């Protein structure tokens, strides 16, 4: 601990050797990759050589007040002020909403909208480049990455089907509408390609921004050292934007206070009170997904699902109380290596990669909220709309930062792309702040179970540790 900031200090005597750079050594590629992936989840190792000793400093995030307590205080305060509004003159309430609450809300939303495009672009581009070079990806991560992405898409598609039934969604079924849907899908694919590099950011076209990011990240990955200067620029811009976003999220409790008071004073709180169907759908779907993953892993390894769940419980609790996969990283690593028996090599590679590329519960929640708000505001839901929603929700879940409140900016992008009125943002964000904790917790447990499955498939699983009670 130094100046109130927790630090991890590693020191080894010997000749100069920087493990954070790709120096051409046998494990240089992996060291370079691990540095990038640690940076993606907010951990930045610093190397120094002092008096014949190699030193690596890892700055950890300073412990903060429990976010659950802060959000609960803001919620209770908002309820009190909201109910107090019923005792105040109507003219005063209307003036306060028009001249104070709505301008503050619009300003915060403007900040989120401003940073959303650059953040999505940098997160996707740097996430792809952060995988490592092409050879590293081929040796270690290609199969793992594809499984992460395909399983996430499959879970979101399953969530769309179940949520559609539970929320009473009916697709237009006449022949003309079906033909129109096919053309809509075709035009949706064509519209992904931008006219130029700048217009997607000016127009807020997320799909085009993501496509540009995929091409840029892929080019940096393939070209490697030939683009080292641009790679450093993208890396540092990504850190800057993430830092700005982290500062913004510290205002989330105050933003929730403003949102809740606005809903009370404008008689729109019923959107939340009537959202129990969406909440029930989310809880049912994530329990089905988690239960299926537990049963599948338990059956393949001849282990009790309850024992497996108990081994992952510490990770679940830490993630549930912090809503931060970064804060849960150390606990999850200990669980993977010391409780589940996953080989160090696989867990060191797969855990940071999975935190970035495997957020199935968050993606499913985005989709459920989008479908619910579309039904509330009578947005026409077609097959093309659902396909676009599945794709956008999956990508935005990957692009969102692993910090409490980091998903808030995604709704401005998501609703704009799916044609959902801006009025739905208030309720969506209010609900997200609560369920972000649960989504993060289940994401981390699902990631541990998926790494366990992959460790079993490639022979990096210690079954004695796994079955140890």
CA distances from 144 to 71, 132, 194, 362, 467 (A): 36, 13, 30, 19, 24
Give the model's pLDDT for residue 39.
Answer: 56
Do β-strands 44-50 and 53-59 pair in parallel, antiparallel, or remain unpaired? antiparallel
- Give the residue ranges of the chain where pLDDT is below 70: 1-9, 18-51, 57-69, 71, 116, 127, 130-141, 171-189, 204, 206-207, 249, 267-271, 326, 401-406, 408
Contact between 110 and 422 under an 8 Å Cβ cutoff? The reply is: no
Bridge partners of residue 57, in order along the sequence: 9, 46
pLDDT digits (tens, 9 = 90+) for 349-401: 778 778 778 889 989 999 999 999 888 888 888 887 888 888 888 888 877 76
Q: Render pLDDT for 75-90 as a digit per residue (tens, 0 to 9).
A: 788 888 888 887 888 8
pLDDT at site 26: 44
Mean pLDDT of the chain: 77
Question: Phi, psi at residue 346, to the nearest 5°?
Answer: -70, -40
Helical H segments across 250-275, by residue range: 252-265, 270-273
Residue 454 CA to residue 372 CA, distance in Å, equals 35
| pTM exceeds 0.75 for this model | no
Structure tokens at 386: 């659902």
Domain 67-86+142-198+251-467, CATH among 3.40.50.12280, 3.30.70.330, 1.10.3860.10, 2.60.120.560: 1.10.3860.10
pLDDT at 120: 73
Residue 37: Cβ within 10 Å count: 24
So where are the chain's domains?
A: 7-59, 67-86+142-198+251-467
The token duo for 7 is: 């630090």
Burial annotation 390-427 (CB, 10 A radius, 16+ → b, else e): bbbbbbbbbbbbbbbbbbbbbbbbbbbbbebeeebbbb
Quick one: pLDDT at residue 167?
Answer: 85
- pLDDT value at residue 445: 92
Return the axis-axis angle of helices 252-265 and 424-457, rounded to nearest 10°.
140
pLDDT value of residue 285: 92
């Amino acid at each position: 601990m130094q100046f109130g900031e927790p630090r991890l200090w590693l020191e080894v005597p010997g000749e100069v050797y920087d493990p954070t750079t790709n120096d051409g050594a046998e494990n240089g590629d992996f060291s370079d990759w691990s540095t990038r992936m640690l940076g993606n989840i907010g951990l930045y190792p610093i190397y120094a050589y002092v008096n014949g000793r190699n030193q690596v400093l890892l700055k950890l995030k300073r412990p903060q007040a429990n976010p659950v307590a802060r959000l609960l205080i803001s919620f209770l305060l908002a309820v009190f002020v909201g109910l107090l509004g019923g005792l105040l003159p109507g003219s005063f309430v209307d003036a306060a909403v028009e001249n104070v609450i709505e301008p503050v809300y619009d300003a915060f939303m403007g900040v989120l909208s401003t940073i959303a495009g650059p953040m999505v672009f940098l997160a996707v581009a740097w996430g792809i480049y952060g995988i490592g070079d092409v050879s590293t990806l081929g040796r270690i991560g290609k199969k793992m990455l594809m499984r992460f992405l395909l399983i996430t898409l499959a879970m979101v598609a399953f969530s769309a089907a179940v949520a559609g039934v539970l929320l009473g969604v009916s697709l237009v079924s006449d022949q003309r509408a079906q033909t129109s849907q096919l053309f809509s899908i075709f035009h949706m694919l064509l519209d992904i390609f931008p006219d130029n590099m700048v217009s997607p950011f000016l127009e807020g076209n997320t799909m085009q921004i993501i496509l540009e990011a995929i091409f840029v990240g892929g080019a940096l990955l393939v070209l490697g050292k030939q683009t080292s200067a641009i790679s450093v620029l993208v890396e540092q811009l990504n850190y800057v934007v993430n830092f700005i976003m982290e500062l913004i999220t510290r205002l989330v409790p105050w933003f929730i206070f403003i949102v809740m008071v606005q809903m009370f004073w404008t008689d729109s709180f019923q959107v939340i009170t009537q959202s129990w169907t969406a909440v029930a759908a989310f809880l049912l779907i994530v329990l089905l997904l988690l239960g299926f993953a537990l049963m599948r892993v338990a059956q393949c390894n001849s282990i009790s699902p309850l024992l497996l769940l108990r081994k992952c419980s510490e990770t679940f609790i830490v993630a549930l109380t912090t809503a931060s996969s970064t804060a849960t990283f150390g606990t999850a690593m200990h669980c993977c290596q010391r409780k589940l028996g996953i080989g160090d090599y696989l867990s060191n590679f797969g855990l940071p990669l999975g935190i970035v590329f495997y957020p199935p519960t968050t993606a499913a929640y985005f989709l459920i909220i989008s479908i619910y708000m579309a039904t509330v505001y009578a947005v026409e839901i077609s097959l093309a709309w659902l396909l676009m929603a599945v794709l956008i929700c999956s990508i935005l879940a990957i692009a969102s930062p692993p910090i409490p409140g980091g998903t808030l900016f995604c709704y401005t992008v998501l609703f704009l792309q799916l044609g959902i009125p801006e009025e739905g943002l208030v309720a969506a964000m209010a609900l997200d702040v609560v369920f972000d904790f649960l989504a993060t917790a289940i994401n981390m447990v699902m990631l541990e179970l998926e790494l366990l499955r992959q460790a079993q498939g490639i022979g990096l699983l210690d079954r004695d540790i796994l079955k140890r009670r």
